[in-house]
Chain A
Amino acid sequence: MSAAPAAISVGEMLRRHGISRRGFIKYCTATASALALPPWMGPAMAAQLRDGPRPSVIYLSFQECTGCFESLTCSFAPTIEDLMFDVISLDYDDTLMAAAGDAAGSALAAAMRDNHGKYILVVDGSIPTGASGACCTAGGRTAEAILREAAAGAAAIVAVGTCAAFGGIPFADPNPTGAWPVSAIIPERPIVNVSGCPPIAEVITGTLLQLVTTGKLPDLDGHGRPKAYFGNNIHDRCYRRPFYDQGKFAKSFDDEGARSGWCLYELGCKGPTTFNACATIKWNGGTSFPIESGHGCLGCSEPNFWDKGSFYAALDTPDWGKAGESTGTQVVELTGGAVAAGLVLGVASAGTSRLRQHHSAGSGNKPGAEGE
């Protein structure tokens, strides 16, 4: 839980953490720039945060692995972004809070009651509805019931991580828990999806910051994600892209080409179909991102990424439909069967045609008389 009461302003909190005014405005300007907001929004955001009360945030975790929360809290080095996390009033988070049981339930109820209509609801994880919701409960209540109650009093809802945004891995076939994304449970409210498995920490904090300072939802793409972060695909921003243009592709993960930075398209990289800021903001304080570490993008910020075939099959390779069976076997089965069918059809057609000619010749009409 946040150590400071909500009444203390962000500016006061920053002073307590030794953050200078210049550093604070610099951060706000950088965030405004990342969000593609006008230049004047940086100082405006800083003023809003400095003078206004800390906004209340309720963080609900459902069917998830806590990777998203790890991404948010365990950054490579303490940064001003971490302090931003301190300066919101995180009134409920069952991962961080010391309280448990009834005390935790009471904290959630109090947070919702005291900030009704004003708090930002952050949801992490998908919501299981199978087995009457028994797969994920807290205090005897199902995830769905808790979400519906919390969403009713929220000023805005942010679905953090691919599980909350699109169902993620729990939603993947065969979806044994009957999992759904937040938008399927709360269809009547606009929801900001910050997808990724996990999302980039700066994308989560940047989205929250814009919500807090502008009071408006950011511009969203067709999947409800902030365009500022999800407007470009990884392929177009990838440092290996020039090698794609040159037709230089790594053939295996440890070959000379892979080490020389050649494109990982042929190794199954999903960068061309994945929209995220991995190639620009990067991870661990801007150190690198998965492709830079030598592995293709898995497409984790896209809907149904777990069900789109092998992570190691190139995007344009055929999907033969039978998992677990070798490609060669499936190709031979399909083409062999089709060739055999074509042979039978061809012989039958030729036979029928010759019979017809034979009958025509026999009946005095001799179109085939010049034949054998």
Chain B
Amino acid sequence: MTETVETLSCQELVELVTDYLEGALPAYDRARFDAHIEACDGCTRYLAQIRVTIELTGRLTHEQLDPAAEAALLEAFRDWKTE
């Protein structure tokens, strides 16, 4: 008898995507994840979309510091130094 690996459903897989990308899945689950992805177009696309989402989020511009707030902090810095 061959050893059976319990397969992962698509609905289960989408909940494991972050753990997968974070390298936090135990080896057994990682193998099940990879096996499922290999055979499933929907989940392959889903994983690709999450990767694109992360990549595009990284393109958002960082918040700029308001010049008045920056000036106030630098002013405070000068006071602290003389204390």
The answer to whether A and B interact is no
B: residues with CB less than 8 A from A are none
A: residues with CB less than 8 A from B are none
